[in-house]
Chain A
Amino acid sequence: DQQVKQNSPSLSVQEGRISILNCDYTNSMFDYFLWYKKYPAEGPTFLISISSIKDKNEDGRFTVFLNKSAKHLSLHIVPSQPGDSAVYFCAASALTGANNLFFGTGTRLTVIP
């Protein structure tokens, strides 16, 4: 049973516009959430994270929003750049348990120049 879900396999956005990637989770014990970016033939690269005590975390062009009541988080990229084209994975963990990450299936973002 997939505990972390990314329901959009792909997303295309014009350069300079906002990209919004969504993620839903089912396990209410999750209290730490991460986004990873993956280019072909490379390992996932950590992008940004958020603890459940916050509802927003920002790092440059990247902002993650967390809605605990809806068990939903989103990653906003503003402005989008062609180099942002990659697969984005959402991941979650329960810090009070074993340090295991549960990953979504990924969303392929294409930024069109």
Chain B
Amino acid sequence: NAGVTQTPKFQVLKTGQSMTLQCAQDMNHNSMYWYRQDPGMGLRLIYYSASEGTTDKGEVPNGYNVSRLNKREFSLRLESAAPSQTSVYFCAGGQGETDTQYFGPGTRLTVL
């Protein structure tokens, strides 16, 4: 039982390159989330998926797209990376009446 896993752990991109961050969970969560964490900013929600087949924008969605491939997997895509997207990205899963979310280990992305 790995919980929430993310790949890759680290990535360096050049401005304009694209990439997809992968997230998978084996906790049978209905909801999945993508956050970014920047110094002094806490965690901010990029996109979320309340259930398989649905996605919605969070607080900072610009420059990102997501896909809820199935119940287990939720990917985050940067179509044309910008230096402002340099951050640590966390995926989380959650379900139930409460909003307790369980986080993956994060992906540290640097855009040059």
Contact = CB atoms under 8 A, between A and B. Distances in A.
A44 B37 CA distance: 11
Q: Chain B interface: which size bin?
A: 20 to 34
A99 B50 contact: yes
Contact of B105 (A6, A36, A43, A105): A43
Nearest to B41: A105
A45 B3 CA distance: 12
A86 interface: no
B104 A89 contact: no
A32 B99 contact: yes
B26 to A, nearest CB: 15
Contacts of A43: 4, 90, 92, 103-106
Given A32-B98, A98-B50, A99-B31, A45 B103 contact: yes
A104 B33 CA distance: 17
Interface residues of A, number: 26
Contacts of B40: 105
A7 B100 CA distance: 23
Identify the interface centre among A32, A36, A101, A103: most chain B CB within 10 Å of its CB: A101
A41 B9 CA distance: 10
